Homo-oligomer: A and B are copies of this chain.
Amino acid sequence: MSKAAFFSLILGFISMSALAQQRPPAISSPNVHADNSITFTYFSRTAREVKLSGEFLKEPVLLTKDTSGIWRVTVPPVTPDIYPYNFTVDGVGVADPNNTQIFANERFKRSIVEVKGDKPLVHSLQNIPHGKVTYHTYSSKTLNTTRQLLVYTPPNFDASGKTKYPVLYLIHGGSDTEETWTKVGRANFIADNLIAQGKAKPMIIVMPYGNVRPAPMADFTKDVVNDIIPFVQANYPTQTDSKGRAVAGFSVGGGQTLNIGFTNTDTFAYICSYAPYTATDEFKKNFTDWTPDADKVNKQLKLFTISVGTEDFLYESVKQNIAMFQEKKIKVEPLIVSGGHTWMNCKLFLANSLQQIFK
């Protein structure tokens, strides 16, 4: 850290000074107001146009610049939730530089804003017993590299081995990371809340990193089955039959879920696919000319759900997938809700699954 940067920090602690006047002003963004309206703020003396896009908006809105270079817009009250948003500055999408809540993603530059509302939501941090999330480094023989995965263990987790826990393998969307399900999807708090309410069984949730490029996507299926499951079972007291394992995922991860699940129905008795993206070589290979023994598969699976929102741009594709499974006589429970291809829906889909699996 430079001396100037450090003193800028210290000055920020104490007071605005004449020195600080010459620096960019301290910006606070976003600011959620009592009525759930939100003000977004951006600073640039030279930008020509700053737009706000957010999953609480139908269309981007323009920010207005004041004479000091501060751009602002206030959006009307929104439904309490956690929303991704970003700015587009002269045509370039950027995260909100003044918001430390960054959307964990390798491609999109987005931030998240939490509108808490009056009542706790399914993902809200509440004063209840909490599980924990552990960052592991594991060696993938399949991918010949060392990777990271996250493991949620429930409140009052018994590491002694006396209790054997069921395990949900939960996969992020394309270009997300292994942190997206906790940092954006709040999977840990959703599980904490549902377990506290007696609505979900205490379980382990494993959140791997699903991006295996430049390897083909099918190598992720191998990584899960040959590397991740053995790693988890070696390090945690888990149930080791298919009825103690579930796989779920969103978008590209929803497609991976179908691939992983249906090529391993002896391993996973629960398959939960959220707004799956299935225009992939792996999906074509697995499901074109697929002739499953439907009776056998339906006996192996205790639950197979496909969830999607009616405004999801993949809605038609997902409906075709559901029809395909039905045509093959595979028992599928569709969950069709309103809303789009969003992490707001994703959290609802997960909350629904957590109440259905391992029961």
CB within 8 Å of B: which residues of A? 1-3, 5-6, 9-10, 12-13, 24, 43-48, 53, 55, 84, 89-95, 97, 100, 102, 105-109, 125, 127, 130, 132-139, 146, 159-160, 173-175, 177, 182, 251, 277, 279, 313, 340-342
- This chain: copies in complex: 2
Whether B107 and A12, one on each chain, are in contact in the complex, defined by CB atoms closer than 8 angstroms, is yes
10 nearest A-B residue pairs (beta carbon): A3-B313, A130-B137, A46-B90, A134-B134, A133-B135, A159-B159, A132-B136, A24-B92, A1-B341, A97-B109
Min C-beta distance of A106 to chain B, whole Å: 5
Closest residue of chain B to A177 (Cβ to Cβ) is: B100
A43 to B109, CA, bound (A): 13
**Interface on chain A toward B: helix, strand, loop, or mixed SS?**
loop
List of B residues within 8 angstroms of A107 by Cβ = 9, 12
Report the minimum CB–CB distance from A6 to chain B (whole Å): 6
Pairwise interchain contact A45-B91, C-beta atoms closer than 8 A: yes
A125→B100 contact, CB < 8 A: no
Residue of B nearest to A129 (CB): B137
Docked complex Cα distance between A9 and B280 (Å):
14
| Minimum CB–CB distance for A199 against chain B, Å | 20
Q: How far is the CA of A340 from the CA of B15 in the complex (A)?
A: 26
